[in-house]
Structure 1
Amino acid sequence: METMRVFIVDDEDDFRETIVKRLNARKIRAEGASSGIRALEVLKEKDFDVIVLDVKMPDMDGIETLRHIKKMKPDIEVIMLTGHASVEFGLKGMQLGAFDYVMKPAPLNELLDTIGQAYNKKRGIIH
């Protein structure tokens, strides 16, 4: 069975590192980036199935990063992480091609469930 590859893009180091560790512990290949700019650099070299992308980041926000991701690799499913009660950013992300959005702080099981759904969509299991 193919191993799911997940990319966590969030400027909060503790959050990003914790999620990466927890995904890896579940036999999901995960790595992280601390900014949208760094994420785009990594995407030039590597492929992922699902990206979990924070909306609020310095330099390049999640919406702008999403636009670039969808141009570079339109088949990657992207889940927007939105805090600051900014549901409108999550909805904007979905208009731009994001799979879904999750409110931060997201319980791990909710985030894992959404990642699984996005992965199944990418693989053509759900529509």
Structure 2
Amino acid sequence: MEKKLEAKVLLVDDEEEFIKTLAQRLEMRGLKVTGATRGEEAVNLVDKQNYDAIVIDLAMPGMDGLETLKRIKESHPDAEIIMLSGQGTVKSGIEAMKLGAEDFLEKPVNMQELLEKIDEMKTKRILVLEKQSMAEIDHILKTKSW
């Protein structure tokens, strides 16, 4: 029996059918999935909701994947992002990593590899949030005169 991975994931791809199919496969494994077909839409969603992992297609009309990655990282530097590409190049993969992507995967995506990456990102995100919470508690304790 495959373990259920409970995570919130944002899929960003201009191909609606790809989002629908991948979302179904991820949801069968316990993930909560939101889809966006444009970079602008993804940026707005990330401003309103926290995600354990964000999966962005590199090639999209309008705001492409790299620009979407850049805009999300500007306002949410802790966002965990995987870039996907059907025609990825080493150059675009390196650029994505420089801009803050955690990983770069090729389409068609290997489901097991994607699930492992999402699991790693969720674990990392939990650790970051715990560290932030501890820092906030420490600050409160130091600033109050009990």
- Which amino acid in 2 is paired with 1:39? A
1:74 is aligned to 2:93: no
Greater helix proportion: 2
Q: Cα RMSD over matched residues?
A: 1.7
Deviation at 1:90, TM superposition (A): 1.8
TM-score (norm 1): 0.89
Task: Please report how far the alpha carbon of residue 45 of structure 1 lies from its aligned counterpart in structure 2 after TM superposition.
Answer: 1.6
Q: Secondary structure at the match of 1:75?
A: coil
Deviations 1:49-94 (A, max 9, x none): 1100110000001110111100121111000002214232122111
SS in 2 for 1:123: helix
Aligned ranges 1:1-127 → 2 under 5 Å: 3-124=6-127
Structure with the greater alpha carbon radius of gyration:
2
Distance 1:98 1:122 in 2: 14
In structure 2, give the amino acid aligned to 1:41: N
Percent identity, please.
40
The DSSP-based 3-state class of the residue aligned with 2:127 is coil
Shift of 1:122: 1.9
CA distance in 2, matches of 1:64, 1:96: 9
Distance 1:15 1:90 in 2: 21
Equivalent position SS for 1:42: helix
Aligned partners of 1:81 and 1:90 also within 8 Å: no
Cα separation, 1, equivalents of 2:46 and 2:80: 13
Q: TM-score, normalised by structure 2?
A: 0.78
Determine the C-alpha separation between the residues in 2 that align with 1:74 and 1:33. Answer: 20
Contact kept? 1:8, 1:51, Cα under 8 Å = yes
